[in-house]
C-alpha cells in the first residue's frame, strides 16, 4: 500500500473516531438536555401550579384574590397537560371550580378539589421519578458507548502511535545508511525494502543510482588500470633508468633499467623511503644528492656506461606530489665525444710538428743571411709566419682541450714564485704588445708567498688572458698585471681598458667554444674554457669582471704553497 494511502487511511480513521465520539457525545448530551427540559417544563411547572392552587384553595374563604390566583394557575395547568390521566383530573378541577367560587365554605367540594390537586401532584412526581430512571438509563447507555468507543479508539490510536513512526523511520534510516555508504565510495551498497510504497520507489531509485555509480567506478578503474599498465610498459621499454617517488620520498616504481643500475628488484624497495634504501646502495645515495652536475659513470651491461641525472617534479594543482629521477643513458654520446676528442688530439698532435717546421722555415727565410728577399716576398713570408703561428695556437688549444676532455691534465705542482709566472707570460706576449703599442704594467705586492702551481699551465692561462687583453685593447693603451695576496692565496689579475664585455655574456664566457657575438672572427673560443679547467685542476678559482666601454678584468686565485 502506498504511503500516501496509508496516511490518508490512518488519518481518516482517526477523523472518523473523533467524529463518532463527538456525534455520540452531542447526541447523548442533547438527549439529557431534552429529558431535563421536559421534566422541568412538563412536571415541575405543573407542581408549581398545583402548589399555588393548593395555597389559593386555603385562602379562598378569606381572600377574594385567591380565586383569581387559582383560576390563573388552573388555566396554565390546562395548557401544560403532559401525563396520562392528568387531563381528566384537571377537567375535574375545572368542573368543580364554579361551585367552589359560589360556595367557598363547602367542605365537600373543597376536599374534592384538594384531592384532585394532590392527585395531580402525585401524577407529576411519579412522572419525574420515571423520567429520572429513563435519564439514568440513557446515562448508562451513553457511558457504555462512549467508554467502548474511547477504549477501541484509544487502543487503535496507541497501536498507530507505536507502529506508524517505524513505518516512516525504518526506511529513512535504511536510506540514510545507504547514502552514507555511497558517500564513502562503497558503491556495492543496496537497500532492500519490501515495501511497495514511495519508500520502495526511493529504494529502487537509490539501487539503480548505486548500480550506475558502481559501473562507472569499475569502468574508471579499468581505464586507470589500462593507462597504468600502458605507462608501465612504456617506462619499462625505455633505455633510460626511471625511478618514481611520492611526496614523502617513498619509492613508487623502478623500471627495468633502473633495477639493473641500482642492482635491486622493484619489489624489494617498493614503498620504502629512498633514504633507507640509500643506506645500502651507493648509487641511490649519489642520486639523492642535489648537486650532481657531472655525468654519472655506472658499470652496467658489462661495460662502463654514462648517465645524466634529471629530476622532474610531479605536480598536481601547483602542489608537488612526487618526483621522478630519470637517468638518461648518454654512453653513446660519450663514446662519440671520446672518438671526436681522440681524433682532435691525434690531428692536432700530428699537425703541431709540421706547422712548427713551417714557422721555423718562414723565420729562416726572412733572415737576410739566408738570402735577400724583395718587398713582396717579405710580405708573403710574414703572412706565412702569422698564419702558422695562429695555426700553432689553435692546435695547442685543441690539444689542451682534448686533454681536459679526457681528464688527462698532467699537472706538475710545485712551489712557484708568482713573479716567475708573470715574467714568463709577459715575455711570451711582449712582441705582440709592442706591435700594437700596448704597454704592459706589472704591479706586484711585496713579499708575495710562493704558490702551489704548475708553472707551464699557469703561464699558459696568463698568456691567454694577456693575448685577449692586447687583442681587445685599442692601440697605445695599457694592460695591467696585478698580483696580490688574498688570505691563503695569491690573486693574478689581468686588466685592460678595451671594449669590455656585455653583462649578459659573462655567465657563458668560460664555456667551451663561446665567443662574444661580433667580437672577433679569429680564435676558437676555447682559451678561457681551458684556462678555467687548468686553474680549477690546481685547486684555484677563476673570475671575470667587465663593463662595456671600461674594459675587462680577468683573474684567478691560486693557493699558496705549504
Beta bridge partner(s), residue 492 = 483, 556
Q: Which of 113, 298, 429, 528 binds ligand ADP (CB under 6 A)?
A: 528
State which residue, 178 or 500, has the beta carbon closest to ligand ADP.
500
State which residue, 230 or 390, has the beta carbon closest to ligand ADP.
390
State which residue, 261 or 542, has the beta carbon closest to ligand ADP.
542
- Helix-helix angle 107-183:198-237, to 10 degrees: 10
State which residue, 288 or 506, has the beta carbon closest to ligand ADP.
506
Beta carbon of residue 429, minimum distance to ligand ADP (angstroms, whole number) = 13
User: Distance (Å, rounded) from C-alpha 312 to C-alpha 324?
Assistant: 5
State which residue, 327 or 528, has the beta carbon closest to ligand ADP.
528
Under DSSP, the state recorded for 513 is T
Beta carbon of residue 504, minimum distance to ligand ADP (angstroms, whole number) = 13
Beta carbon of residue 408, minimum distance to ligand ADP (angstroms, whole number) = 20
CA-closest candidate to residue 65, choices 74, 73, 56, 53: 56
Q: Does 533 bind ligand ADP (CB under 6 A)?
A: no
Torsion of CA 453, 459, 460, 466, to 10 degrees: 140
Beta carbon of residue 383, minimum distance to ligand ADP (angstroms, whole number) = 20
Q: What angle do CA 76, 81, 86 make, to 5 degrees?
A: 115
Residues of span 460-499 touching ligand ADP by CB under 6 A: 464, 468-469, 472, 496, 498-499
| Residues in CB range of 7: below 8 A, 6 or more apart | none
State which residue, 241 or 498, has the beta carbon closest to ligand ADP.
498
State which residue, 496 or 533, has the beta carbon closest to ligand ADP.
496
Q: Which of 276, 525, 536, 543 binds ligand ADP (CB under 6 A)?
A: 525
Q: Does 556 bind ligand ADP (CB under 6 A)?
A: no
Q: Which of 46, 452, 458, 552 binds ligand ADP (CB under 6 A)?
A: 552
One character per residue 259-298, x = contact with ligand ADP (rule: CB under 6 A): ----------------------------------------
For residue 298, the surrounding DSSP H or E stretch is strand 296-300
DSSP code string of 274-317: HHHHHHT-HHHHHHH-TT--SPEEEEETTEEEEEEEEEEEEEET
Do the beta carbons of residue 104 and residue 58 sit within 8 Å?
Answer: no
User: Distance (Å, rounded) from C-alpha 534 to C-alpha 460?
Assistant: 9
State which residue, 180 or 390, has the beta carbon closest to ligand ADP.
390
Binding part of the chain for ligand ADP, among 30-38, 212-220, 229-237, 519-527 by CB under 6 A, reads: 519-527
State which residue, 83 or 511, has the beta carbon closest to ligand ADP.
511
CA-closest candidate to residue 430, choices 384, 462, 453, 455: 462
Q: Does 524 bind ligand ADP (CB under 6 A)?
A: yes
Beta carbon of residue 472, minimum distance to ligand ADP (angstroms, whole number) = 4
Q: Which of 523, 536, 539, 561 binds ligand ADP (CB under 6 A)?
A: 523
Do the beta carbons of residue 77 and residue 92 sit within 8 Å?
Answer: no
Residues of span 497-516 touching ligand ADP by CB under 6 A: 498-499, 501, 509, 514-516
One character per residue 407-446, x = contact with ligand ADP (rule: CB under 6 A): ----------------------------------------
State which residue, 305 or 531, has the beta carbon closest to ligand ADP.
531
DSSP code string of 371-432: ----HHHHHHHHHHHHHHHHHHHHHHHHHHHHHHHTT------EEE-HHHHHHHHHHHHHHH
- Count of residues of this chain found to bind ligand ADP when the rule CB under 6 A is applied: 22
Do the beta carbons of residue 210 and residue 185 sit within 8 Å?
Answer: no
Under DSSP, the state recorded for 266 is H
By beta carbon distance, the residue nearest ligand ADP is 523
State which residue, 457 or 515, has the beta carbon closest to ligand ADP.
515
Beta bridge partner(s), residue 231 = none
Q: Does 540 bind ligand ADP (CB under 6 A)?
A: no
User: Could you give the 3-state DSSP secondary structure of residue 23?
Assistant: helix
* CA 523 distance to own-chain centroid: 57
Beta carbon of residue 507, minimum distance to ligand ADP (angstroms, whole number) = 12
Do the beta carbons of residue 237 and residue 261 sit within 8 Å?
Answer: no
Q: What angle do CA 161, 166, 170 make, to 5 degrees?
A: 170
181, with CB counted inside 10 A (0-12, 13-18, 19+), is middle
Count of helices and strands (H, E) across the chain: 15, 12
State which residue, 390 or 412, has the beta carbon closest to ligand ADP.
390
Beta carbon of residue 428, minimum distance to ligand ADP (angstroms, whole number) = 15
Beta carbon of residue 399, minimum distance to ligand ADP (angstroms, whole number) = 14
For residue 25, the surrounding DSSP H or E stretch is helix 3-38
Q: Which of 421, 527, 559, 560 binds ligand ADP (CB under 6 A)?
A: 527
Quick one: residue 253, left, alpha or beta (phi over 0 = left, psi -120 to 50 = alpha)? beta
* CA 200 distance to own-chain centroid: 38
The number of C-alpha atoms within 13 Å of 251 and in the hemisphere containing its C-beta is 24
Beta carbon of residue 459, minimum distance to ligand ADP (angstroms, whole number) = 15
Under the rule (CB under 6 A), what is the footprint of ligand ADP? 464, 468-469, 472, 496, 498-499, 501, 509, 514-516, 519-520, 523-529, 552
Amino acid at each position: 500500500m502506498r504511503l500516501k494511502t496509508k496516511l490518508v487511511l490512518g488519518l481518516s480513521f482517526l477523523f472518523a473516531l473523533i467524529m463518532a465520539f463527538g456525534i455520540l457525545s452531542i447526541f447523548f448530551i442533547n438527549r439529557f438536555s431534552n429529558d431535563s427540559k421536559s421534566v422541568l417544563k412538563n412536571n415541575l411547572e405543573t407542581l408549581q401550579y398545583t402548589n399555588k392552587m393548593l395555597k389559593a384553595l386555603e385562602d379562598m374563604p378569606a381572600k377574594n384574590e385567591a380565586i383569581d390566583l387559582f383560576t390563573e394557575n388552573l388555566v396554565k395547568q390546562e395548557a401544560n397537560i403532559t401525563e396520562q390521566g392528568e387531563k381528566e383530573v384537571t377537567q375535574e378541577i375545572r368542573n368543580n371550580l364554579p361551585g367552589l367560587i359560589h360556595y367557598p365554605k363547602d367542605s365537600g367540594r373543597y376536599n374534592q378539589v384538594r384531592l384532585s390537586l394532590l392527585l395531580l401532584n402525585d401524577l407529576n412526581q411519579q412522572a419525574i421519578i420515571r423520567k429520572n430512571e429513563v435519564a439514568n438509563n440513557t446515562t448508562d447507555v451513553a457511558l457504555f458507548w462512549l467508554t467502548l468507543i474511547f477504549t477501541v479508539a484509544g487502543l487503535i490510536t496507541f497501536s498507530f502511535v507505536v507502529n506508524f513512526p517505524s513505518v516512516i523511520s525504518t526506511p529513512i534510516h535504511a536510506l540514510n545508511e545507504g547514502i552514507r555508504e555511497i558517500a564513502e565510495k562503497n558503491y556495492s551498497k543496496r537497500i532492500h525494502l519490501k515495501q511497495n510504497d514511495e519508500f520502495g520507489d526511493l529504494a529502487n531509485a537509490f539501487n539503480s543510482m548505486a548500480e550506475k555509480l558502481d559501473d562507472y567506478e569499475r569502468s574508471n578503474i579499468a581505464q586507470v588500470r589500462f593507462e597504468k599498465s600502458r605507462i608501465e610498459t612504456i617506462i619499462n621499454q625505455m633505455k633510460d633508468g626511471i625511478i618514481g617517488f611520492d611526496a614523502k620520498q617513498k619509492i613508487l616504481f623502478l623500471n627495468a633499467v633502473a633495477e639493473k643500475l641500482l642492482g635491486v628488484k622493484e619489489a624489494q624497495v617498493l614503498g620504502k623511503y629512498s633514504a633507507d634504501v640509500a643506506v645500502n646502495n651507493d648509487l641511490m645515495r649519489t642520486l639523492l644528492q642535489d648537486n650532481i652536475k657531472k655525468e654519472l659513470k655506472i658499470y652496467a651491461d658489462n661495460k662502463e656506461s654514462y648517465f645524466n641525472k634529471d629530476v622532474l617534479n610531479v605536480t598536481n594543482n601547483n602542489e608537488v606530489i612526487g618526483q621522478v629521477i630519470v637517468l638518461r643513458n648518454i654512453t653513446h654520446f660519450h663514446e662519440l665525444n671520446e672518438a671526436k676528442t681522440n681524433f682532435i688530439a691525434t690531428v692536432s698532435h700530428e699537425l703541431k710538428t709540421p706547422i712548427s717546421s713551417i714557422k721555423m722555415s718562414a723565420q729562416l727565410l726572412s733572415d737576410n743571411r739566408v738570402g735577400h728577399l724583395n718587398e713582396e716576398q717579405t710580405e708573403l713570408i710574414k703572412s706565412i709566419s702569422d698564419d702558422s703561428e695562429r695555426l700553432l695556437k689553435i692546435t695547442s688549444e685543441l690539444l689542451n682541450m682534448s686533454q681536459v676532455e679526457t681528464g688527462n691534465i698532467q699537472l706538475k705542482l710545485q712551489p712557484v714564485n708568482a713573479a716567475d709566472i708573470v715574467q714568463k707570460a709577459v715575455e711570451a706576449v711582449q712582441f705582440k704588445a709592442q706591435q700594437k703599442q700596448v704597454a704592459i704594467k706589472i704591479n706586484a705586492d711585496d713579499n708575495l708567498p710562493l704558490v702551489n702551481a704548475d708553472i707551464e699551465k699557469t703561464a699558459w692561462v696568463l698568456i691567454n688572458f694577456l693575448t685577449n687583453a692586447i687583442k681587445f685593447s685599442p692601440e697605445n693603451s695599457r694592460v695591467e698585471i696585478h698580483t696580490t695576496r688574498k688570505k691563503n692565496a695569491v690573486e693574478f689579475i689581468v686588466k685592460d681598458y678595451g671594449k669590455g664585455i656585455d653583462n649578459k655574456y659573462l655567465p657563458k664566457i668560460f664555456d667551451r667554444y663561446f665567443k662574444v657575438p661580433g667580437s672577433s672572427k679569429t680564435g676558437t673560443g676555447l682559451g678561457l674554457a681551458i684556462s678555467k679547467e687548468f686553474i680549477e685542476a690546481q685547486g684555484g678559482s677563476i673570475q671575470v669582471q667587465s663593463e662595456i666601454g671600461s674594459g675587462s678584468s680577468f683573474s684567478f686565485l691560486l693557493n699558496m704553497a705549504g
